[in-house]
Amino acid sequence: MTVAVIAAGLLIGVIQQAGLPLQDPLNWWLYMLETESETMLPGTLPLVDSRFLNSDVETSTGSLSNVERFLFIRSSSPGWTQEESSRFSLTGTVAGEVQNYSESLEARIGATARIFVDILPGLFLDERLSIWAGSDDNPPSYFSPYHEGMERGRHLYVDWGYLQWNNETVSLSFGRIPQRWGPGRYSQLLLSNNSPPLDMLKVQFNLWNSLRFTGFTSTIDSDSGTYLTAHRLDISPRKNLRIGLCESILFKTEGLDFAYMNPIIPWYPVQWNERVDDNAFFSFDVSWKPFRGIETYGELLIDDIQYENTNDRPNKLGWTAGLSAYISPLDLGTVIEYTRIDRYVYSQRKPYNYYLHHGEIIGSELGPDADRITLSLGTSAAWPVLCEMTVDHTRHGEGTVQEGWPDSASTGGTFPSGTVEYLTGAELHVGWYPLDFLELHGEVGNVWIRNLNHVSGESDSDFSTSLEAIFNW
């Protein structure tokens, strides 16, 4: 029956593209589905080709197939209401949460409204607004965390809103679009959902089912003329292998800069020969499944390499390596991932070129001068209950993005630098999906901190619990 439901949904003449919000915990299971299937996810999320969900996943109990069916429902375009020449839907969520954190009880409530309009064949509008209030001025979990209301406790925000036209080869998008590039489950080094979604013009080409090109131009601060352009080429030489090549430039300009806004040409020669202080990045990532149920992945970020080092300046690099596995007889998935980011990564000589959007790092939330190892285990054996246990250990040095790229920076020294802050965390998350429109989430966790705020000998421990109910209408 599960396969029939999925197959029926895929009998759409035009390939629909939609996706889960990047904060949704079901994204962890989307990656598990990739690990267990014979199909690779694209290198960019949340846009997910619906054909990916028509995988041949089967387990001894069929549990993951139930997750697959649920993911298809959640990732597909919203349900239609037929009205003359246009089709539209209005959907949303209502969420309430109670959290006990740092010996204080907090209450939060929020709602979203999503409008989806099929304007013409291949052309649609997708927009979501959210509003929430919280006793601690925070939204419920899994809401977009970027709300910046002017008054404490009341927030209204545009989570995303864009027009998109696509066919089997080309996709054009304009508007506010969330992005996450690369295979990292817990850290994406070039583009992550750590910062608010970017307002952009975006183009994608899907060529011969083995090449996918993505490029965009976006504003970082339109009042000051700061922009971010990025492009990416995903190469799939084999069904079980995907290679991503990326480049981005953050720059300030008086007007439109078509040298950087041209997504086809490489930008580094332009920056090297025609500019001086623009912030350029390269990123390389790979996902490989040597056999079904096992996936290895990695990403290398190059902020700066001193290949003509005459002043003993350090390189600025970041990298991630991970392994994902799904054991079908136990309905058990696991991920282990390590990320390291050198000091001064995301920084630059000029503060307006820091790799930030609304004060948040556009790349990994881990930030520079830090590393982290993460281990997670999850099971779908008790579907419709999903359980995930995550433990991690983080080291933070004293370096920050705001320290810039000082003239005193030189090779050598320890990593992480200065008095290192150590954080060890453990969290258990249980999600219950009794109905397609109802979900309940419970979490319990603790974080142990040593050398708090880089003060030697200072320590702390934060225990938290939460219970959240989400109604999808």
Does the pTM of the predicted model rise above 0.85? yes
Whose tokens are 């489950």? That residue is 185
Question: Residues 238-277, buried b or exposed e (16+ Cβ, 10 A)?
Answer: eebebebebbbbbbbeeeebebbbebeeebeebbeeebee
Residue 14 has a CB neighbour count (10 Å cut-off) of: 11
From residue 418, alpha-carbon distances to 5, 453, 455 in Å are 56, 11, 10
86 pLDDT higher than 80: no
Q: pLDDT at residue 311 above 50?
A: yes
Instruction: Give the mean pLDDT of 383-407.
Output: 94
Give me 329's structure tokens: 């007889």
* pLDDT above 80 for 308: no
Q: What is the pLDDT of residues 93-124, one digit of tens each?
A: 999 999 998 778 999 999 999 998 888 888 88
Can you give the pLDDT at residue 8?
Answer: 29
**What pLDDT, on the 0 to 100 scale, is given for residue 368?**
96
| Domain spanning 2-472, CATH class | mainly beta
Other C-beta atoms closer than 10 Å to the C-beta of 42 total: 20
State the pLDDT at residue 11.
25
Task: Give Cα 179 distance to the centre of its chain.
Answer: 6
pLDDT at 47: 60
The residue count of the chain comes to 473
Burial of 6 (0-12, 13-18, 19+ CB in 10 A): buried
DSSP labels, 317-361: EEEEEEEEEEEGGGTEEEEEEEEEE-TTTT--SSGGGSSEETTEE
Rounded mean pLDDT of 72-79? 67
Mean pLDDT value across the chain: 85
Flag whether pLDDT at 57 surpasses 50: no
CB 253 within 8 Å of CB 270: no
Q: How many Å apart are CA 195 and CA 178, to the nearest integer?
A: 9
Instruction: Compare 337 and 77 and report the one with higher pLDDT.
Output: 337
Give whole-number Cα distances, 303 to 219, 315, 350, in Å.
20, 8, 15
* Whether 245 contacts 211, CB under 8 Å: no
Measured CA to CA, the distance from residue 423 to residue 460 in angstroms comes to: 10
Q: How far apart are CA 399 and CA 414, in angstroms?
A: 12
User: How many whole angstroms separate alpha carbon 234 and alpha carbon 383?
Assistant: 34
Cross-strand pairs, 105: 100
Burial of 398 (0-12, 13-18, 19+ CB in 10 A): middle
Q: Which residues pair with 173 in a beta bridge?
A: 164, 202
Q: What is the average per-residue pLDDT within 61-87?
A: 64
Phi-psi region of 224 (alpha: psi -120 to 50; beta: other; left: phi over 0): alpha
Distance CA 234, CA 322 (A): 19
Per-residue pLDDT tens digits for 151-208: 555 688 888 999 999 888 899 999 999 999 999 999 999 999 998 899 999 999 988 8
pLDDT tens, position by position, 220-267:
876 778 999 999 999 999 989 999 999 999 988 877 777 788 888 887
CA distances in angstroms from 191 to 24, 228, 235, 248, listed in the order given: 18, 11, 18, 9
The predicted pLDDT at position 62 comes to: 52
The lowest-confidence range among 88-102, 257-271, 294-308 is: 257-271
pLDDT tier for residue 14 given thresholds of 50, 70 and 90: very low
Interatomic CA distance for residues 59 and 56, integer angstroms = 10
Q: What's the pLDDT tens digit per position in 414-470? A: 999 999 999 999 999 999 999 888 999 999 999 999 999 999 999 999 999 999 999
The pLDDT assigned to 359 comes to 87
Q: How far apart are CA 439 and CA 385, in angstroms?
A: 10
Q: How far apart are CA 166 and CA 123, in angstroms?
A: 7
Inter-axis angle of helices 63-75 and 26-36, nearest 10: 120
What is the pLDDT, as a whole number, of residue 63? 58
Query: What is residue 329's predicted lDDT score, i.e. its pLDDT?
Result: 85
User: Does residue 59 register a pLDDT over 50?
Assistant: no
Question: In this model, does residue 64 exceed pLDDT 70?
Answer: no
Helix 2-9 to helix 63-75 angle, to the nearest 10 degrees?
Answer: 20
Domain boundaries, the chain: 2-472
Whether the Cβ atoms of residue 364 and residue 341 lie closer than 8 Å to each other:
yes
pLDDT tier at 78, thresholds 50, 70, 90: low
Residue carrying the six token digits 């690099």: 317
Token pair recorded at residue 176 = 């506010």
Whether residue 66 is predicted with pLDDT greater than 90 in this model: the reply is no
Task: Report the alpha-carbon distance of residue 118 to residue 120 in Å, rounded.
Answer: 6
